[in-house]
Amino acid sequence: MAGKGQTAASSLSGNESLKVLLCVVVSFSLLRYLHDLVKFLVESPFIDFAHYYTYATVVSLGLDPFDQQATSRVDAMLNIRRAGSAPNYPPLFYVFMQPLVLLPFRYAKLAWVFMGQVCLLGSLFICLRQVSAVSPVRVAAVLFVVLNYQPLAETIALGQSNLVVLFLVTVAWWGLRNGYQWAAATALALTAHIKPQFAVLLLLLWWMGYGAVGARALLLAGIGLGASFFVLGPDHHFTYARYVTSLPDYLLTWTANLSPRATLHRLFEPANFGPVLADSLWLTLGVGLLFLVARVIPRALPSHSPAFDGAWGLGLCAVLLLSPLTEEHHLVILLLPLTLLLLNGWGAHLPDRETVVLVGSILLLGSRYSLEQFPAFHQGALSLLMTGKLLGMIGLTGMLAARLLSGTALLRADPAKMMP
């Protein structure tokens, strides 16, 4: 009896120690995150948000954002530091930003940061509500990853829109899982008017057997496009279409561009035939990725099957890998599949090999590292050493695909086993 009592006491002590350890790890990460958040609010110029704010101001004055003289006058009026690119967001986005233009810039950026944090918390809350019997260890793991995720810090420091997109794709996933088709369609339509590359998810919906939701999203996106045509006029839209279909050449070798296309262009840049070879390989890889997605995702996938979560995560990875421009802050979107994997592993414990791949992908995606300051790594074979984030995306994509292949085989053998 004494031995059993000692064993029970030892187990209880171990559980208490684990709780204390989890609290220390999460609290430490939270304090560091809050410290960085305050530092960004005080020191960061929020150049991407300043970009939105400037062009939204141009629109509010009834001027053409692609008119450089008009933009220069607004720049002189606002006197804020902003990203130097053209108005490269869909026209309706600058209409969405109009309420913030009513505020002075210093208050508008506070409102924008606050909205981003609400979107982040909302995404985490939705994920936690959708997963049953979540253990404290798994929740602590999610919080630790989120609070130390470098792309998230970059998004906040730049004032980027990725947290809004994360919330919208999470709402779309939640709506599909629970039968709220109009909610999912609305979230996807709004996403396409912020980051148009995410319109690829409509093809994913059609492939998975949710064509009706995709059609509703397309209808809502079309209504939004019509509204922006009415408010802004056709010239803005035509100029924007010309801009996005002929992006500046420097983006192909820009070191901040993590996409496979940019990686190949940097690799083969020194060769005379480099651009042709890079684009040929990129098209081949793109076709291969689409074939992989079509191969591992079944045509009719039950929304409540654990495999559905993996299919949605794989779709998000595919968007980033297919896009000709993927920057580090775009990787915030991958917090959704990472959170779902860490919370429940799709209803089963991850095998050791997949656990290693998941941890490795998290480290590559979320850690802070860079060889940007060394010009020798900007092109040629040495540029491959700058592909850590891309390797993280590929690792996560491969893991999701592998689990979907095994899950699809189980679904075909016994559909009841795939239901939670």
DSSP letters for 288-342: HHHHHHHHHS-SS--TTSHHHHHHHHHHHHHHHHHSS---GGGGGGGHHHHHHHH
Q: Give residue limits of the domains in the chain.
A: 18-44+105-418
Q: What is the pLDDT of residues 360-389, one digit of tens each?
A: 999 999 999 989 989 999 999 999 999 999
Mean pLDDT of 134-141: 88
CB-side neighbour CA atoms (13 Å) of 361: 23
CB 348 within 8 A of CB 417: no
- pLDDT tens-place string over residues 246-256: 888 888 889 99
Q: How confident is the model at residue 94 (pLDDT cuts 50, 70, 90)?
A: very high
Q: What percent of the chain has pLDDT over 90?
A: 76
Q: What are the tens digits of pLDDT across the range 150-186?
A: 999 999 999 999 999 999 999 999 999 999 999 999 9
Reported as a pLDDT band with limits 50, 70 and 90, residue 419 is very low
Backbone angles phi, psi at 227, to 5 degrees: -65, -40
Structural contact between residues 171 and 198, judged by C-beta atoms closer than 8 angstroms? no
Is residue 138 scored above 70 in pLDDT?
Answer: yes
Q: Predicted confidence band at 204 (pLDDT cuts at 50, 70, 90)?
A: very high
pLDDT of residue 19: 81
Contacts of 250 (CB under 8 A, 6+ apart): none
Q: Which of 34-43, 110-119, 131-140 has the lowest mean pLDDT?
A: 131-140
Taking the CA atoms of 202, 219, 329 and 270 in sequence, report the sign of the dihedral they define. positive
Task: Report residue 134's pLDDT band, with 50, 70 and 90 as the boundaries.
Answer: confident
pLDDT of residue 91: 95
Largest separation between any pair of C-alpha atoms in the chain: 87
Mean local confidence (pLDDT), 120-126:
97
Work out the pLDDT band at 417, boundaries 50, 70, 90: very low
- What gap in Å lies between CA 25 and CA 204, rounded to an integer? 38
Token pair belonging to 237: 């839209």
Q: What is the pLDDT of residues 256-291, one digit of tens each?
A: 999 999 999 999 987 878 889 999 999 999 999 999
The mean pLDDT value for 383-405 works out to: 94
Q: CA 332, CA 274: separation in Å to the nearest integer?
A: 31
| Chain segment 6-21, per-residue pLDDT in tens | 555 555 566 788 888 8
Per-residue pLDDT reduced to its tens digit, 55-76: 999 999 999 999 999 999 999 9
Any idea how long the chain is? 420
* One-character DSSP codes across 203-234: HHHHHHT-HHHHHHHHHHHHHHHHHHHHHH-H
Residue 3, pLDDT score: 52
Q: Are 203 and 321 in contact (CB under 8 A)?
A: no
Output the pLDDT for position 273.
82
Cβ-Cβ contacts under 8 Å for 30 (sequence gap 6 or more): 143, 147
The structure tokens listed for 58 are 């141009």
DSSP assignment of 335-368: HHHHHHHHHHTTTSPPPHHHHHHHHHHHHHHHS-
pTM: 0.93
Mean pLDDT of 32-49: 96
Quote the radius of gyration of the chain (alpha carbons, Å). Answer: 23
Statement: residue 132 has pLDDT above 80:
no
Q: What is the rounded distance in angstroms from the CA atom of residue 361 to the CA atom of residue 396?
A: 6
Task: Report the C-alpha gap between 217 and 220 in whole angstroms.
Answer: 5
Using the predicted structure, report yes or no on whether residue 407 has a pLDDT greater than 80. no
Helix axis angle, 150-158 relative to 352-366, nearest 10°?
Answer: 30
Please report which helix (H) or strand (E) contains residue 94, including its range. Answer: helix 91-96
User: What CA–CA distance (Å, rounded) separates 185 from 222?
Assistant: 12
- If pLDDT is split at 50, 70 and 90, which confidence band does 318 have? very high
Q: Check if the beta carbon of residue 312 is closer than 8 Å to that of residue 333.
A: no
- 118: Cβ contacts below 8 Å, ≥ 6 apart: none
Q: Is the pLDDT of residue 297 over 60?
A: yes
